[in-house]
Structure 1
Amino acid sequence: MSIGYFLKVWIIPIISALIIASFINKILFFNIVLPPSGSMIPTLNDYDRALVSRIYNMENTKRGSIIVFYSQELDKLLVKRLIGIPGDKIEIKDGIVFVNGDRLEEDYVKNIDDYNGIFEVPEGKYFFLGDNRPNSNDSRFWKNPYILSNDIEGKVQFRFYPLKDFGWAN
């Protein structure tokens, strides 16, 4: 077997596959291990592993999506539920969320608290809450409750570990 044949049959396809995999990982998708915060229980649990699609246009997201973003204030990546988009008025009464006057249907929230507050989401910014409201350090408690669109990394699509929870994230 010649060196040329070996390169053509083995090395070039392997290098090509690595380049394509790297492209997909950097441009289209990435994996995340959920940090130990408890804020998304029972939807997502601490240390779950999930596939995240990159977001390049926030207009393609909708309220209720599970989003990965960087918090400048906390200096770390977080995973929370998108509640408010630019221009929204968020009012929370005894833990019940109202967006622009309408009660938000949140079947994913199993534990509520008695929090009360009003927020107006500025242009280019977003408002996030965890699903486990009594145990979530989210927009309600930050000095700056809004996240810039530039700090939003992606949308959680699919949980692949643990295997017992394998499936779409919603």
Structure 2
Amino acid sequence: MTVEAGAAIEWALRVCQSMAFAIHGILGVTEPWTGCVTHAFRDTGAMPKWFWPVAGIILWTVAILNFSKNDKVILGVQAYIAAFHMGGYFYHARLGHHPAAGLAPAVFALLAFFVVWIRTGSVLVALIGWIVCTGIAYGLSRVLVTPPTSEEANDGTNGLLGEMAGSTRYQSGAVA
């Protein structure tokens, strides 16, 4: 791959990331009023109340900083993206969701891996960075994510994608 082709691909990946983060930032910041994230993820208090708005503001910041002219800023942004989105993978795992639910945020960690690889020219640097960020994400998920109680875990309503048939507790009116 030529340097020009690599730069074009890397730019396109960062555009995709930033577009998604701008949208997800809106969801995070408005979460206290809409409850859309916690309802979509069937999160009944797994995350601290402050988390989603703070995450939304940080995602907006990342969306902007992703276009910095400073290589170190871009690499720092990619590290945050990898850690935050691998944290999303562990969030879904700790809530007992179907394993596929965690793949959606993990895609952004994969994009960060490719951006770092293209930008540094080293798959080893990208791989080590991804491993370190995944370790940080795992540790933070153990601190920030409160898994459902055994009663909640066994009621069949927390397995995002796990029970496609039947109404959810939100649709049935069990949760206001």
TM-score category, normalised to shorter length: under 0.3
Higher strand share goes to which structure? 1
**TM-score of the two chains, using structure 2 as the length reference:** 0.22
Structure number with greater Rg is 1
**TM-score of the two chains, using structure 1 as the length reference:** 0.22
Higher helix share goes to which structure? 2
